[in-house]
Amino acid sequence: MLRTRLLFEKTGRAQYISHLDLLRTFQRVFLRAGIRLRHTEGFNPHPYLSFALPLPVGSESLCELLDFDLAEDIDLGALPARLNAKMPEGIRAVKAYRPETKFADLAYIRVEGAFFYDAGVPGGTVDKLAALFREKTLVISKKSKKGFVDFDIAPCVQSILFTPEGFDRLAVRAVITAQNPALNPENLVAAVRTHLPSCTPDFASFKRLEVLRRDNNVFR
Amino acid sequence: MDKRLERILPKVQKPARYTGGEYGQTVKDLSTVDTRVALCFPDTYEIGMSNLGMRILYGLANRMSGVWCERVFAPWGDMEEALRCASIGLYGLESGDPVRNFDIVAFSLGYEMAYTNVLNMLDLMGLPMRASERKDLTPLVIAGGTCAYNPEPMADFIDLFIIGEGEEVNGEVIGAYRAAKKSGLSKNEFLEQASRIGGVYVPSLYDVAYNGDGTVADIVPREGAPFPVVKRIAEDFDAAYFPEETIVPSTEIVHDRVVLELFRGCIRACRFCQAGYTYRPVRARGADRLVGCGVKALESAGYEEITLSSLSTSDYKELLPLCDGLLDWCEPRNISLSLPSLRADNFSMDLMSRVQKVRKTGLTFAPEAGSQRLRDAINKNVTEDDLIETCRVAFEGGWSSVKLYFMLGLPTETDEDVLAIAALAGKVLHTWKQYASNKARGVRITVSTSCFVPKPDTPFQWEAQVTPEEYQRRVELLRGAMRTRAITYNWHSPETSLIEAVLARGDRRIGAVLERVVKDGGRLDAWEEYFSFERWMNAFQACGLNPAFYAHRERPCGECFPWRAVSAGVDEAYLWGERNAAYKNEITPDCRAGCTGCGASALLKGGACDA
C-alpha cells in the first residue's frame, strides 16, 4: 500500500472552502493531475482521503495534512508541483512523503491570529486577557448535538500571548490542543465574551502555523 | 480580498460561493483589458454555475483579447443583508471589483421568477434599476436568454436585449460597444447603432400603444429600428464552441458534473413547450466530436460524472455510438454517465443496461397528461403502452423508483383527464407488482403536478391559465383518487405559476409591478422561502393592473402580442394551426417524419434543418 501524506496550505480565498467541499475538491485535483488513487472496494468505490484535523471555515493554515493511497509508485518529489498546477486559488501543496506517524499522535496546534477592536483596544486589555487565560478553569457554553454544554477550555490552551499591534488590534499567538478535545480558536473569543465582556473583540481571525506532537516538536 | 468581506464571509451560509478563486476561472492582467463584462445570473451561485449557457458565454467572451468577463450571482438573503449593511456593492467573483465600474452588465434570463433578482442585483450594484435613469453609455445593461423572447416586462430596465443564442452576437455587441466607447458615442447614439446588429432589440426604440381594453394596439419602431428583430442562432452548431476547460466550483452546485450538449432544437413539437419552438431549427453535433469534448472536459475538470443534455436526448440520432464511446472511457475510471429527459417511447432496454453498468439512478418520466386524449391534444406523443413497457423493463432490471411529472390546467383538460393520472400511476404500481425482480426493496412512485403556464411562441400562447382555485380543485380530485401508500403525490403551488404566467405574457406596464415588488423587499422569488404572493398582489393593485388580465384571459386570433417586435423564427400562423389541432385532439408527427413547415429553417442560410 502506497500510503502518502501531503502537507499543504489553505489560505486567502480558499479559507472559505468547507471541510466537505475540500474533500471533493481534492478528489478532483487528483483526477485533473492524472494521479491515480487506490479506491475503496464496494458498491460506491471512492478514493480514501483522510484529513488530519478539519480546519474551521474562515481560518487559514500553513500546515494541513492529508493522507491517501496512491495506486502506483510515482515520484513524490514531483507530486506537489503536479497538484499545484491543478489547484484552486489558495490551496498549495508543499511536500509529499511516506508518513511514519499516525494522526492520533497529533497533540497541539500553534496558531497566530488577531483580535480587532474597531474603536481602539480598550486600556489594560492585554493584562486582563493574560490574567484571564492564567485561570485554572475557563468555562464557556458550547453548542453541541445535545444543545448547549459547558466546556472548560483552560486545559486546551497550552500557552497564549497577546501583543499590541497598532491602536486597533492585538496579535494573538497560542498553542492549543489539536484533539481530544480539540479547541476551535473561536472558543478563545467565546471565553473573553463570557468572562471579560468589555474586552470582547469586534472580530478575530486565526491561522494555523504548525502542528505539534505531545513533546511540542513538529508533527509530520 | 476586501477586508470588510473577511468579516462577513465567516458568518454567512456557504461562503465559498461568494469568493471566486475556483479552478479554471479566468483572471486577466488589467493593463491588457479595455472592456470589463459582468456576466450576471439572477439566481444563486449553485443554480447559475449549473447553467451551461453561462459557461459557454463566459468562455467565449474571455477568448476576446482586451475583454475580461467575470461572474456575478444573486446573493442569498443573509449575504445580501450583510452587503447592504456594510455598503459593499455587488462585485465580480474573479476580481472582487465592484460591478458598477464595469463596462457591460449582462443578465441571463432563463426563468421569469428571476426578474426581481435582476432589479435587486442592479440595486445591489448601486445602479439605477430603470434604463432611462442610467444616462451614460457605461455601464451598459444588457440581457438575453429564453425569457427574452418576451422582453417587454423587463423593457424598462434593460438597455438592450440579445434575442436567441449568444455565441456570435454577443461578440458583435461587445465589439460595437468598444468602438462606441473609443469614439465617445452617447448611450443613445450607441443604442441606435447597436439596433442594426441582427438579433439586437433595443426596447427604447419601440413605442407601444394600448387599446381601451388594455390590449396592445400597436408597436412602432423608431430611428429605423428593425421590425421584427429575428433571433440569432449558432448556425454551425457542430463546430460551435464547447467549454472543454471550464470552472470547477469549490463548493457543491446543483449540476456538479460535465454537461454535454448533443443538439439544439427539438423534433417533437409538444404544444406547451416554449423551448421546443424557440430553440428551432434542429442542429446536432457529431458523436465523435461529442466523445472528444466529453473526455476533454472530464479530464480538465476532474469530474466523476457526465450527463447528456438536450431537449429530448433520446432523439439524438447517434445516441448508442455516443454512449459506447463515452462508456469506453468512463467505465475503467469509475466515471458515471447519466441520461436525463429520456422519452418513454424509445427508451431501449439496450441503452438502459449500458448506463446501468456504471450507476443506477431513479427513472423519471414526464407524460405531462394522464389520458391519451389529452396527450394527443398537447402533442406529447407518448402512449401508455410505451410507458408501461418501459417501466416493466426497468422493474425487471432492478429499478424501484419512478417519478412521473404532469401538468394540471392544460387546455381542454376535463376531470376525466385528471383522474386518468391516478389510473396511470396505479398501472405503474401494478406493473411493479407483476414484474419487480426484487420486491423486498419496495417501490416508490412519485407523482408531481404543476399548474400549466402558457408561454409566448407556443401554440398555447393564446390560452387562458386556470385560476389557482380551479387548480387546487383538480389537485384535490387527483389526491382523492390516489390513496395508496406506494404513491407519493407532490403538487406545486399555483400562486407562483400565476405570477409566472403574468410575467411570461406580460407587457411593458408589468415593469412597474416588478419595481414595486422589489422596492417592497421582493427577491429570490423562485425560492419558496422568499416568495410572497401577497406582495405581488399588492404591487398589482398599487400599479392598477389586474393579474387575471394577463394570466386567465384567452386571447383572440390576431391579437397583437406584447412580444410582436421579437421573432423566434416560427410563424404565428403555424402556431395557430397547431393550436387548432390541439382542440381537435390531432397530433402532429415529429419533424423527423417530415417537415411540418414551422418556418424556423429560414434561419439557416445554407443547409436545412437537421431533424
| Side chain identity, residue A193 | R
Main-chain dihedrals φ then ψ at residue A173, nearest 5 degrees: -125, 130
> What band does B339 get if pLDDT is binned at 50, 70 and 90?
confident
Main-chain dihedrals φ then ψ at residue A127, nearest 5 degrees: -65, -40
Question: How far is the alpha carbon of B98 from chain A, nearest alpha carbon, in Å?
Answer: 17
Under DSSP, the state recorded for B183 is T
> What band does B138 get if pLDDT is binned at 50, 70 and 90?
very high
Under DSSP, the state recorded for B226 is -
Q: What pLDDT does B346 receive? A: 52
Locate the domains of chain B by residue range.
3-230, 236-361+556-611
Nearest neighbour of B23 by CB, restricted to A39, A58, A87: A87
C-alpha B156/C-alpha B203 separation (Å) is 8
Q: Count of alpha carbons within 13 Å of B256, Cβ hemisphere only? A: 14
C-alpha A184/C-alpha A162 separation (Å) is 17
> What band does B401 get if pLDDT is binned at 50, 70 and 90?
confident
% of chain B exceeding 90 in pLDDT:
86
Q: Is B469 exposed, middle or buried (0-12, 13-18, 19+ CB in 10 A)?
A: exposed
Q: What's the rounded mean pLDDT across residues B494-512?
A: 98
> Are the CB atoms for B429 and B402 separated by under 8 Å?
no
> What band does B358 get if pLDDT is binned at 50, 70 and 90?
very low
For residue A16, the chain B residues in CB contact (below 8 A) are 9-10, 15-16, 18-19
Is residue B348 pLDDT above 60, yes or no?
no
Complex ipTM > 0.90: yes
Least reliable range by pLDDT among B193-202, B431-440, B451-460: B431-440
> What band does B398 get if pLDDT is binned at 50, 70 and 90?
confident
For residue A14, the chain B residues in CB contact (below 8 A) are 21, 250
C-alpha B601/C-alpha B595 separation (Å) is 10
Question: What dotted CATH number matches A105-212?
Answer: 3.30.70
Cβ of residue B245 closer than 8 Å to a chain A Cβ: no
Do domains A2-100 and A105-212 share one topology? The answer is yes
Percentages of chain A per state (helix, strand, coil), in multiples of 5:
25, 35, 40
CA B567 → CA B47, B74, B599, distances in Å?
Answer: 28, 29, 11
Within 10 A of B248 (CB to CB), how many other CB atoms are there?
A: 23
Nearest neighbour of B9 by CB, restricted to A16, A29, A90: A16
Q: Which residue's entry shows cell 389541432?
A: B581
> What band does B268 get if pLDDT is binned at 50, 70 and 90?
very high
Q: What pLDDT does B342 receive? A: 61
Locate the domains of chain A by residue range.
2-100, 105-212
Instruction: Please answer yes or no on whether B302 and A89 come within 8 Å at the CB atom.
Output: no
Predicted model pTM: 0.95
**CATH fold for domain B3-230:** Rossmann fold (3.40.50)
Q: What pLDDT does B353 receive? A: 63
Nearest neighbour of A14 by CB, restricted to B21, B301, B304: B21
Q: pLDDT tens, A73-96?
A: 999 999 999 999 999 999 999 999
Q: Decide which of 1.10.357.10, 2.60.40.10, 3.30.70.580, 1.10.760.10 is the CATH code for A2-100.
A: 3.30.70.580
For residue B251, the chain A residues in CB contact (below 8 A) are 17-18, 21
Does B236-361+556-611 carry CATH code 3.30.750.210?
Answer: yes
Query: In sequence order, what are the beta bridge partners of B68?
Result: B36
